[in-house]
Structure 1
Amino acid sequence: NLFVQVFLGGALFYVAAVAGANVMHDYYQILTIPAIALALASGAVYLWKAEHFNVFLRRIVLVVSIGVMLITGWNQIVGNFNVNHPEIVEAGAEVNKITAKEALIVAPYNGDTAFLYQTGRSGWPAIDDSIDNIIANGADYYVSVDLGSPDTKMIESRFKTIKKTDRFIIVDLVNPIK
């Protein structure tokens, strides 16, 4: 199919001219995945319908190839779904137990939303403004697994600590220390 060939050629040109060696980022892959998917689908249809190969053999090759593709893809990404820091899971479970469902949480974790996700609440994955402005925007609780960070120490000195362990701290931002 000429369309698939031109589309795939354009994607390869894009990778060579624009993306360079940095194609590991998903925002570069967004433009190439449709071309690759169409090329693979076109090849699969060709193998399924081809007249000059053994029907049984070509279909077995196709099914095995798709199976290997899916298994390989799964093995490449399965590790991305592991939480390698059990302290964020533990802190998130505690936040989930002791705060209201509508509470807004400040859960700094280098801007990564994984920690905020573990709380089951909406909020801020980083302190990107003064804590007073974040509170003015509705923040109710601060939870951190970095007990030694300057932000954690400052917030702990200004607001009531609800729970503190050797792994995490939860602070009530609505109740300042008098």
Structure 2
Amino acid sequence: METGQGTQHEGGASRAGMTGLSFADRTETWLDNAERLCAARGSRLTDLRRQVLGLVLDAGRPVGAYDLLDGLRTDKKSAAPPTVYRALDFLLEQGLIHKIERLSAFVGCTHALDGTRACGDHPHAAQFLICTGCGQVTELDDHGILHALVDATRTIGFTVRHSTVEAEGLCAACRDAA
């Protein structure tokens, strides 16, 4: 798993670097934003939750819980699966990550972390394009898909609280290579 561990980044030591894990500068910015979002919601992004989120964000691809555990163990030798799963549950509840059910893996919600939208401010909705060629996952931010689903379910009296659409196919690079 690629996490940027042990790498020096411009700008000096990061907060995560003080705990033994270091992350890319962009990831550090997202982690700081996540900390502010959690505080605004009355929650706390603990050092452990911050490390797990940093590992998810730095992976650059969907990452499974046991890959996260391996990355966490570079700093916390005694880390166990329940530790990672509790952190993931918190991050999911806060709308900071998404679970790709098809892959049983997690990706960061960079829309929430960039401040472009907060996933907790509307029915939690995500749309993912999963390339079956290279494994790349792209998150869409298409409000039309959510509105179509909400409108369709409203006619039968159903209220959408969470929606994840996962579409499999080929990305442009894999399609062109085929």
Asked if these proteins are the same fold (TM beyond 0.5), I'd say: no
Structure ranking higher on relative contact order (CA contacts 8 Å, 6+ apart) = 2
Q: Compare the two structures and name the one with the higher helix fraction.
A: 1
TM-score bracket for the superposition, by shorter chain length: under 0.3
